[in-house]
Structure 1
Amino acid sequence: MGSDNSPALSLGEPLQVCDKQRKRAVRKRWILTGSTSAVLKQLTLPMLWAILALFSADLIELYFASRLGVEELTAMSFSLPVQATLFAFAIGLGIVVATRLTQAKEVEQLAAVSLIFTVLVGATLAAVIWLGLQPMLTLLGFAEFAAREQVWPTLERYMQYRLGAVVFFFVVMVVFGVLRAFGNMRGAAQLLVTFAGLQIVMSAGLFTPWAQTELPLSGLERLGVAHFIAAVSASLYALYLLRIKENISLKVRLLSQRSRQAFRRLFRLFVPVVAMQLLTPLAQSLLMMIVASQGSDAVAAFGVVMRIEPLALLLPMVLTTSLPIFVGQNWAANKSLRVRRGIKQALAACLVWQSVIALVLFWGADMLGVGFCKQSFVSQSIELAMCILPVSYAALAGVMLYVSCCNAIGRSTLALNVTLVRLFVLSLPGAYLGAQLNGFQGIVWALALANFVVGAWLVYGAMQGRVVRQELASN
């Protein structure tokens, strides 16, 4: 009896694997043949809720820090470039693993190796940052902060929990990228919503009157604990999605030749991808140094602006994760008209979105300023930034879509050049000059002007290219 049943049992898993592979093939074919608007909608909407939840959790964390006092808000603001660096590494790892998995024949072997690679990178990075945390913050201007001696112990414990959660957070982001690469947008969105929801619930729970009296934790430390618990729980859910929902086996022979070869390939792709991702946190760090020269209150205000900006740019940010999937696959299939149609629709949606956001933030700027901090300079600086910067976000949205599409079709050098010009040729020098001329207000105006200049540059380039194509066609 046992021998009669064994073949059926052994065939069950291969049949299940084939079914998963068939579903992935159907998803890919649908991206190439479905209605452009329908495909973009299906790729984007799940990610919209996922990214909204993720950045909302960060903003709520900063709000709880502001309730503790302006000193705690300023201290956390100093740590934001460090957190942005961790996020850049996480995104880079997700891109690397997703890219390799979509190209690999033996998905299961590479998935297990990728997770081990993720753990090693996360643990190494967390250790390096922890050992150099104080010098990094000093470089950002933390040494000039008058209340540094008062808030450093609690900030240190907060960062201890954040860095302890790095490995788990990286696993979440890598599995998020893998699910997207497989076309499972709903599963990817559920993963980020779960992580963000847990962080919000834990943060709120740890700030209840009972938790404040019963748990021997400082204010910022509570936020660190909430992030750690959310990351651990979400990483377990991520492994469940990978193993059960996608039927990816996580067995691996670490010392085998295939495993060593997979490690080498991951590392070779990891270096350039992460280097590209690190440009933004590097620019944020340099910008924080410029802002810190205007005083600790300017740092507190700028920290709030840095957390609001991703939410204001929510749709463009989501489209930079979904549009490249559409553009890359259709470009590879030589469907250039379909690619052009998709980009036009995405750009039109972003222009409408940013116009609405600019109006909402303009009319609600005073409430945001007072809501985060009642200290006059901080609240007025937040209000000023929310009246000026969002007007330039439409141009920035176009730049973001342009860069993501260049990467999707293999023109990464062009994408890199645009990013370098925006950040290091226009934004940073402009912010420095603005700070010298008109303080924090000068910095805000310089950043807005940089967005407009790059956007206008790309529009001019697109118009010139169209004129050239028309002349060639007429000849």
Structure 2
Amino acid sequence: MTCKAPEYNNPTSVEVCQKQRKRAVRKRWILTGTTSAVLSQLTIPMLFAILALFGADLIELYFASRLGVEELTAMSFTLPIQATLFAFAIGLGIVVATRLTQARKVEELAAVSLVFTAIVGSLLALVIWFNLLPILNLLGFDEYSAQQLQVWPSLKAYMQYRLTAVVFFFVVMVVFGVLRAFGNMRAAAWLLVTFSVTQVLLSALLFSPFTQGLLLSGLERLGIAHLLAAIIGFLFSIYLLVVKENISIKVNLLSQQSRQAFKCLMRLLIPVVAIQLLTPIAQSLLMGIVATQGSDAVAAYGVVIRLEPIALLLPMVLTTSLPIFVGQNWEAKKALRVRRSIKLAMLACIVWQLVVASVLFLGADFLSGGFCKQPDVKDAINLAVSVLPISYIALAGVMLYVSCCNAIGRSGLALNFSIVRLFVFSVPSAFIGSYVAGFSGVVWGLSLANFALGACLILYTIMRKQPDSLAKRPVLN
């Protein structure tokens, strides 16, 4: 998008051009700044944002565990559904950010994108709501058992609030992606932090003695807190988009440009979301495997799912910031900067995962006891927290490799690695482990699958380098 000469009698025109110049400066800085400095400034704001987002989910699960093992188990069954919604939100953010950064008329496309996001979110929420119980049953939830029959009404109300919040949450994540694409990492981080902190504060308020008179179950309170936080985050995201980035959201939805934009967004959304849905599908299969081991195993696995993003915090953040650096420098044919950034990111991830694995191993007993006092659930959480984090070193390497492949246009290779990781290594290993040794077998199976995949990635990169080195080697007479 180019900025024409501003009309200096029109303050709005001047301000818009200033915003456009700032975006251009950010892009040049990514290509010329020192690798460590650029990666640090791209990553650190996102570190706090992602920590706040997944930390809020973990605290929500902690409040559920305070209600009882039945509530913790019931909420654990909904985690694959929530992961599916999150995958759609991320996919929408990628699609909209891609189109906005490529479009000449950003303002016209922005409003269409927000309406498109609202439509997709509404349809998805309705589909899940009308099929909620069948979906939960596929995951292993049995509404006829005594414990789950008792908790089903409050779980249904909880999901009602969560699904009502889908449209607002989707808009938050789309604007988050747009701000990142424009290089405004600080505003993007503040958006997620605001949403997450609001959810935590509202949850704490609804569980405080001041609100004990409300005729609401514990799960309903958590659902209401998420809905209100999503509405507040939605209002803040619109403020950032309109006021801070000067992007108008006024549009004629019946115009030909709007119809073309809808078609383009839908065409881009299908493949992107298909890739994003691989992880929720794998989580659903894993939940079904764990459900065969009983409700205690489901409760423990629910905690593990929410702890994993925290343990993988730095690699997850780098998969959002490193592609920005790699993609733009690769396009500018600066391969040396790309290699340097990948080595630096991998070294940081190795150090991070070693520290995280050590802390979780030493504090496993305290952490598991904080979520549940029941011995079987506590022991299961203890085992998972002690064994799985060390294998995340290999998983972090795979995550960075996949994100860099996407950044340089090798999406097919990234898709193949993701499919192999989830459906060739993780799910079969968990299934075999559950058959051999129950829930502990699932934990060990997932850990060994991560290490095996890391070894395959190293072998693959070595084999790719050998032909290149042979081609460059001089022929001796």
TM-score, reference length from structure 2: 0.97
Could you say which residue in structure 1 is the equivalent of 2:339? 340
Could you say which residue in structure 2 is the equivalent of 1:203? 203
Could you say which residue in structure 2 is the equivalent of 1:470? 469
CA RMSD of aligned residues (A): 1.1
Could you say which residue in structure 2 is the equivalent of 1:193? 193
Please list the CA deviations of residues 16-65 of structure 1 after superposition, one character each: whole Å capped at 9, or x if unmatched.
11111100000000000100000000000000000000000000000000
Q: Distance in 2 between matches of 1:66 and 1:264?
A: 44
Q: Distance in 2 between matches of 1:399 and 1:355?
A: 16
Could you say which residue in structure 2 is the equivalent of 1:322? 321
1:292-307 aligned within 5 A:
292-307=291-306
Q: CA deviation at 1:464?
A: 2.0
* Equivalent AA in structure 2 for residue 39 of structure 1: V
* Equivalent AA in structure 1 for residue 288 of structure 2: M
Please list the CA deviations of residues 121-158 of structure 1 after superposition, one character each: whole Å capped at 9, or x if unmatched.
00000000000000000111101754111000000000
Q: Distance in 1 between matches of 2:185 and 2:174?
A: 14
Q: Distance in 2 between matches of 1:14 and 1:257?
A: 26
Q: CA deviation at 1:451?
A: 0.6
Q: Distance in 2 between matches of 1:209 and 1:68?
A: 15
Could you say which residue in structure 2 is the equivalent of 1:240? 239
Q: CA deviation at 1:8?
A: 7.0
Please list the CA deviations of residues 414-451 of structure 1 after superposition, one character each: whole Å capped at 9, or x if unmatched.
00110111111111111111111000000001101111
* Equivalent AA in structure 2 for residue 195 of structure 1: F
Could you say which residue in structure 1 is the equivalent of 2:112? 113
1:62-73 aligned within 5 A:
62-73=61-72
Which secondary structure does the structure 2 equivalent of 1:308 belong to? helix
Q: Distance in 2 between matches of 1:436 and 1:103?
A: 50
Please list the CA deviations of residues 358-388 of structure 1 after superposition, one character each: whole Å capped at 9, or x if unmatched.
0000001111111100111100000000111
Could you say which residue in structure 1 is the equivalent of 2:3? none
* Equivalent AA in structure 2 for residue 205 of structure 1: L
Whether the aligned pair in 1 keeps the contact of 2:8 and 2:14 (CA below 8 Å) is no
Q: Distance in 2 between matches of 1:91 and 1:223?
A: 23
Please list the CA deviations of residues 371-417 of structure 1 after superposition, one character each: whole Å capped at 9, or x if unmatched.
10011110000000011100100000000000100011111110011
1:130-279 aligned within 5 A:
130-143=129-142, 146-212=146-212, 214-279=213-278
Which secondary structure does the structure 2 equivalent of 1:143 belong to? coil
TM-score, reference length from structure 1: 0.97
Could you say which residue in structure 2 is the equivalent of 1:387? 386
Q: Distance in 2 between matches of 1:411 and 1:50?
A: 28
Which secondary structure does the structure 2 equivalent of 1:142 belong to? coil
1:119-130 aligned within 5 A:
119-130=118-129
Whether the aligned pair in 1 keeps the contact of 2:108 and 2:250 (CA below 8 Å) is yes
Could you say which residue in structure 1 is the equivalent of 2:103? 104
1:356-375 aligned within 5 A:
356-375=355-374
Could you say which residue in structure 2 is the equivalent of 1:425? 424
Q: Distance in 1 between matches of 2:473 and 2:305?
A: 48
Structure 2, unmatched stretches of 5+, are: 1-5
Could you say which residue in structure 2 is the equivalent of 1:4? none
Whether the aligned pair in 1 keeps the contact of 2:161 and 2:223 (CA below 8 Å) is yes
Could you say which residue in structure 2 is the equivalent of 1:25? 24
Aligned length: 468
Whether the aligned pair in 1 keeps the contact of 2:7 and 2:14 (CA below 8 Å) is no
Q: Distance in 2 between matches of 1:348 and 1:429?
A: 30
* Equivalent AA in structure 2 for residue 211 of structure 1: T
Poorly superposed stretches of 4+, deviation over 4 Å: 7-10
Using the TM superposition, name which of 312-321 and 420-429 deviates more: 420-429
Which secondary structure does the structure 2 equivalent of 1:147 belong to? helix
Q: Distance in 1 between matches of 2:401 and 2:8?
A: 50
Q: CA deviation at 1:260?
A: 0.7
Could you say which residue in structure 2 is the equivalent of 1:411? 410
* Equivalent AA in structure 1 for residue 296 of structure 2: D
Please list the CA deviations of residues 77-100 of structure 1 after superposition, one character each: whole Å capped at 9, or x if unmatched.
000000000000000000000000
Q: CA deviation at 1:467?
A: 2.5
